[in-house]
């Protein structure tokens, strides 16, 4: 285990092994470098992501264990199904990615300052290059919730979500899980477990298991229509 942090060379996209990450703080692996698209893409392909506060250098993380969703087994709560039948929120994909990223930042608690202008710009650039994708939830033609993340083969690395109205982010995740699974998606990375993710059914897996899955899934591809801008619909809407 490392007792020091690697400083990234701005001219070299290589990262240290995720297994060199610190235990405290959990997963801190390296600092420095930049937020160029090619570096961020390289990071995600190795199970690493950027996260840092306003007074920090760019910090790179690979925590253990890893919080994940299996999109094929995701089950929404009965109360959420009932809510959606009543309110009929509209759900789309890749129709307002920049707005979703900005709203994820704007709706964070004041102490959560990691989604700064540089980070938002980086992910919006990645969206323009086809790496970053969003799910949007609408009500009365207003954007009320959503999520975004990075696609790595058949793995989707979720970055953030937001809700301006009740259950909007939960509905985004529900619809996306079904859509992603139908097009060959195998795993959704949520990085670090928290109470909200746990309430939605996320589970934790060891870093080694996550990296083994990543190694396989990053070389595969979801069906090409998966991230075409479109409205998402459930394949079955059972009464329960």
Chain-centroid distance of CA 109 in Å reads 18
Kindly state the DSSP code that residue 224 receives in the 8-state scheme: G
| pLDDT, averaged across the chain | 95
* pLDDT above 90 coverage of the chain, percent: 91
Chain-centroid distance of CA 152 in Å reads 11
Both 89 and 54 in one domain: the answer is: no
| Structural domain boundaries, residue 95 | 67-232
Both 25 and 119 in one domain: the answer is: no
CA dist., res. 138 & res. 152, Å (int): 26
- For position 1, what pLDDT does the model report? 44
| Per-residue pLDDT at 2 exceeds 80 | no
Q: Is residue 237 part of a domain?
A: no
Place 113 in a pLDDT band, splitting at 50, 70 and 90: confident
Both 215 and 227 in one domain: the answer is: yes
Which residue among 18, 42, 63 closes a domain? Answer: 63
Q: Are 188 and 147 in contact (CB under 8 A)?
A: no
The count of structural domains within the chain is: 2
Task: Give CA torsion, residues 113, 188, 129, 216, to 10 deg.
Answer: 130
Q: Is residue 240 part of a domain?
A: no
69 bridge partner residues: 188
E strand residue ranges, the chain: 6-8, 28-32, 49-50, 59-61, 66-69, 90-93, 132-139, 142-152, 155-163, 187-191, 203-205, 230-232
The model's pLDDT over 141-167, given as tens digits with 9 standing for 90+, comes to 999 999 999 999 999 999 999 999 999
CA dist., res. 46 & res. 39, Å (int): 11
Both 115 and 142 in one domain: the answer is: yes
Q: What is the CATH number of the domain that holds 19?
A: 3.30.70.3550
Both 31 and 74 in one domain: the answer is: no
Q: Is residue 238 part of a domain?
A: no
Both 37 and 56 in one domain: the answer is: yes
CA dist., res. 102 & res. 98, Å (int): 6
Which residue among 63, 78, 102 closes a domain? Answer: 63
Lowest mean pLDDT among 1-15, 133-147, 177-191: 1-15
Both 164 and 85 in one domain: the answer is: yes
158 bridge partner residues: 149
The model carries a pTM of 0.94
CA dist., res. 38 & res. 43, Å (int): 9
Q: What are phi and psi of 50, to 5 degrees?
A: -90, 145
- Integer angstrom CA distances of residue 161 from 8, 126, 172, 191: 29, 17, 9, 13
Both 118 and 217 in one domain: the answer is: yes
């Amino acid at each position: 285990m490392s007792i020091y942090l690697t400083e990234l060379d701005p001219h070299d996209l290589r990262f240290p092994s995720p297994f060199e990450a610190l235990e405290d703080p959990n997963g801190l692996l390296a600092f420095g470098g930049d937020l160029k698209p090619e570096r961020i893409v390289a990071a995600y392909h190795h199970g690493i992501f950027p996260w840092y506060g306003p007074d920090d250098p760019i910090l790179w993380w690979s925590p253990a264990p890893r919080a994940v969703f299996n999109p094929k087994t995701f089950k929404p709560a009965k109360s959420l199904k009932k809510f959606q039948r009543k309110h009929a929120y509209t759900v789309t994909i890749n129709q307002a990615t920049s707005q979703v990223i900005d709203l994820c930042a704007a709706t964070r608690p004041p102490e959560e300052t990691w989604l700064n202008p540089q980070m938002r710009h980086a992910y919006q650039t990645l969206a323009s290059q086809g790496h970053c994708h969003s799910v949007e939830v609408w009500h009365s033609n207003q954007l009320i919730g959503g999520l975004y993340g990075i696609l790595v083969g058949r793995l989707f690395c979720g970055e953030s979500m937001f809700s301006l109205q009740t259950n909007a982010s939960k509905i985004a995740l529900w619809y996306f899980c079904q859509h992603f699974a139908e097009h060959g998606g195998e795993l959704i990375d949520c990085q670090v477990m928290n109470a909200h993710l746990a309430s939605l059914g996320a589970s934790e897996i060891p870093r080694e298991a996550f990296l083994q899955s990543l190694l396989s899934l990053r070389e595969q591809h979801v069906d090409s229509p998966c991230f075409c801008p479109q409205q998402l619909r459930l394949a079955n809407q059972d009464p329960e």
